[in-house]
Amino acid sequence: MVLSVATIFEGSRIIPSLQAAEVAWFALICLAIVLGAKYFVGTKKFGRFPPGPRGLPLVGNIFDLKRLVRDTKFHYRAWSRLAELYGPVVGIRLGFSDPMIIVSGKEAVTEMLNREEFDGRPDGFLFRHRTFGARRGIIFTDGTTWKEQRRFSLKNLRDFGFGRKTMEDIILNEAVTLARIIEEKSNDGPIRNVDRIATVAVLNSLWYLTANTRYDQEKEDAGLAEIVQIISDIFKDSDVSGGVLNYFPFLRYIVPGLSGYKSRNDRQMRVWHFFRNLVDQHKTSVNFHHGHRDLIDAYLSEIELQKFNSSSSFNELQLIALLKDLFTAGIETTNNSIGFVLLYLIANPYVQQKIHEEIDRVLGRNALPSIQTRSRMPYLNATVMEVSRLANVGPTTIPHRATADAKFMGFDIKKNYILLANLHSIHMDRGHWGDPKTFRPERFLDENGHLVKDPWMITFGAGRRKCPGENLAKNSQFLFLCCLLQKLRFELPPGEAAPCLDGINGFTISPPNFNAVAVAR
């Protein structure tokens, strides 16, 4: 049956006799026309758009990306494959989201990360959904809100010991405790889930300053375990491009289960309630006249001070989002990095042996390490750097957004385009590294065995959006690994095959689940 607009509508009212199926088809046709027009008009406004796969109307390059990820197994390899085909600056379109520009190679990435007009963060559906429907926190905000929240957080964390001797003592205490627990457990057989074994210890290092809370490494906290698992699952089930819900956010209304919205929403709600309860507990015990115990107290005090400032970015929802960001950053990348180092050492026992010899020479078996002793252990540092280069826990930066129209490497970058720095392309550049796929810590040592800092190692990004927790992460990695390897040797359990070193695809790259025998030295 052919229906004209006149037979379907009377004014703004749908004729009652029209069948529901016909209304649905008409709506879909109208949607297709509108979206087709949007796509056509949009493509005419791109100016000198970077080269890339042609794509299809409406869906853009979604199927191209899906095929590349299927072939290469990882999103970051898909970005590098696109760079091989089209050059250091590649433009793709993914559904209804703003165009994404993949930036690869040392020159292009360095320029992009240091351009202030590229310091924004994406504003798609999923980036708001993770913080309860608005742009909150410090990871996916920009402009004044980001500057205020970042400045406040870093200042107050420093007041409580972040980046100081207090922080070192907290990390060292957790590292020593972890080594003792593993040594005791080793008598009962192989250590399970070594890839996540440092999670609570790593979290405690930052969380004590944030929430005045230290979780017992020996007694599992059910609430904490659930949230840690949820956050891990979210990272593994997502990628930096945003995924289908970011390309087509309306799918959450049509197919909430199939699109992944229902499970994602359930997870986010549980995470959100965890931090909501934490804030509520602080509100019942905080005493502004007796000083602040932690960052949460300081933030609640700031909310009170600015309660009559209508333009203030300080409120309880912003605090919950900030806690979520700090909690996530506090466990995911550092914990993954430690897991990967242990995995590589199990796969390369001769490297582990060299580290043991260095620790014995510098510290012996009983003296505790410190940040000062880090400079005296070049081989351990070189190994951590080499694992970081190969494992690529953060193979790209968090997506950036152009805050203004700009020219970049000869191409037109319009406001709100998303830019993704492909760090993997730098860390695996054959022209610079020679044998990038080979695990060789010695590449970071000179002929005298001294550590060489290579400017091509930009694991933590660069520019104004560089990770503010870089020093904490490096100090944590060193102290944890030094304490563990001073007391223990890690080996594969008898009969178990070596796990794949590639890791697990996701927003970050996590080590595979693996077990190990921890032998007391």
| Greatest pairwise CA separation for the chain in angstroms | 89
Dig out the tokens for 152 from the structure.
Answer: 């406040």
C-alpha dihedral over 504, 505, 508, 511, to 10 degrees? Answer: 10
- Residue 519 CB contacts under 8 Å (≥ 6 apart), including other chains: 186, 488, 489, 490, 491
Q: How many CB atoms lie within 10 A of CB 356?
A: 17
- Cα–Cα distance, 116 to 121 (Å, whole number): 12
Q: Is 467 annotated as a binding residue?
A: yes
Dig out the tokens for 61 from the structure.
Answer: 């390059």
- Residue 422 CB contacts under 8 Å (≥ 6 apart), including other chains: 76, 79, 80, 83, 102, 103, 104, 105, 109, 395, 396
Dig out the tokens for 316 from the structure.
Answer: 């309880």
414 near 405, Cβ under 8 Å?
yes
122 near 140, Cβ under 8 Å?
yes
Dig out the tokens for 462 from the structure.
Answer: 């660069």
Backbone phi and psi for residue 68, each to the nearest 5 degrees, phi listed first? -65, -40
- Cα–Cα distance, 422 to 159 (Å, whole number): 35
C-alpha distances in Å from residue 1, one per residue of 17, 18, 19, 25, 344: 14, 11, 11, 12, 66
- Name the residue among 90, 140, 50, 139 with its Cα closest to residue 421: 90
Name the residue type at position 323: L
Could you give the 3-state DSSP secondary structure of residue 419? strand
Backbone phi and psi for residue 270, each to the nearest 5 degrees, phi listed first? -65, -40
- Cα–Cα distance, 108 to 119 (Å, whole number): 15
- Cα–Cα distance, 118 to 134 (Å, whole number): 21
346 near 197, Cβ under 8 Å?
no
Backbone phi and psi for residue 392, each to the nearest 5 degrees, phi listed first? 50, 55
Alpha-helical (H) ranges within 261-377 are 261-285, 295-305, 316-347, 349-362
- Name the residue among 445, 421, 225, 203 with its Cα closest to residue 330: 203
Q: Are strands 411-413 and 400-401 parallel, antiparallel or unpaired?
A: unpaired
Q: How many CB atoms lie within 10 A of CB 490?
A: 21
Residue numbers in the known binding site are 467
Residue numbers in the known binding site for heme are 467
